[in-house]
């Protein structure tokens, strides 16, 4: 199997949850309710389970990670996905990977229309308000069910800013800046 040139470009998007059917399909639990990248791309990467150095993995196998998966099929199944890739032809092979993580190279993400961004592209951007005051840097995002929320690391406690038109004036990914209608004391 091929290995990635640099795992830093890989974005973890889901978790393998065991076999599905008798032909080597696997259940995938996406990390986000929007699993579009996993559904659209056909080159995935297999990463070891988080925080675990597999005892069954030899040093030679560990050097082969991350391992490229050539996906031949993927579809929505309940709240998750099921997927099939080359070389995984029976339920035992699929079940053996339960708990392993799935990633996609950032360069393989489908292009988005102007004005739309992937969460991963917003992390690290500087957030400033309309007065030009720097509020901090985006350290993460979350979804509260109604909309996305920026987690901004600033002076003191993290600031949570709803990603809605009323508060986000603009995102300039090239300048690495998000302009908001927000104050530190809100």
The number of C-alpha atoms within 13 Å of 127 and in the hemisphere containing its C-beta is 30
Length of the chain: 186
Tell me the C-alpha distance between 172 and 148, whole Å: 17
Six-digit token string for 167: 């508060």
Backbone angles phi, psi at 60, to 5 degrees: -65, -45
Indicate the CATH number for domain 119-180.
2.30.30.240
Looking at residue 3, what is its pLDDT? 41
46/15 Cα distance (integer angstroms):
10
Q: Which fold has domain 7-108?
A: Elongation Factor Tu (Ef-tu); domain 3 (2.40.30)
Q: Tell if the pTM clears 0.85, that is, is over it.
A: no
Domain range annotation of the chain: 7-108, 119-180
DSSP of 108-142? GSPP--TT---HHHHTT-EEEETT--EEEEEEEEE
Output the six-digit token pair for 80: 């998750």
pLDDT at 71: 97
**In the block, residue with structure tokens 């391992």:** 67
* 10-residue averages of pLDDT along the chain (186 residues): 52 96 96 90 94 52 77 95 96 96 96 90 96 96 89 89 96 95 89
Q: How far apart are CA 149 and CA 163, in angstroms?
A: 5
């Amino acid at each position: 199997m091929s290995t990635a040139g640099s795992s830093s470009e890989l974005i973890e998007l889901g978790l393998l949850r065991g076999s599905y059917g008798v032909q080597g399909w696997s259940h995938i639990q996406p990390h986000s309710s929007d699993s579009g990248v996993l559904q659209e791309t056909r080159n995935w990467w297999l990463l070891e389970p988080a925080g675990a150095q597999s005892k069954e993995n030899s040093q030679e196998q560990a050097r082969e990670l991350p391992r490229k998966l050539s996906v031949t099929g993927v579809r929505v199944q309940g709240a998750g996905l099921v997927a099939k890739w080359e070389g995984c032809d029976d339920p035992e092979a699929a079940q053996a990977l339960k708990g392993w993580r799935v990633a996609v190279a950032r360069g393989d993400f489908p292009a988005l229309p102007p004005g739309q961004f992937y969460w991963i592209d917003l992390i690290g951007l500087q957030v400033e308000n309309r007065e030009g005051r720097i509020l901090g840097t985006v350290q993460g995002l979350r979804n509260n069910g109604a909309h996305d929320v920026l987690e901004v690391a600033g002076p003191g406690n993290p600031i949570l800013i709803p990603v809605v038109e009323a508060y986000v004036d603009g995102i300039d990914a090239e300048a690495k800046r998000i302009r908001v209608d927000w104050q530190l004391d809100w």
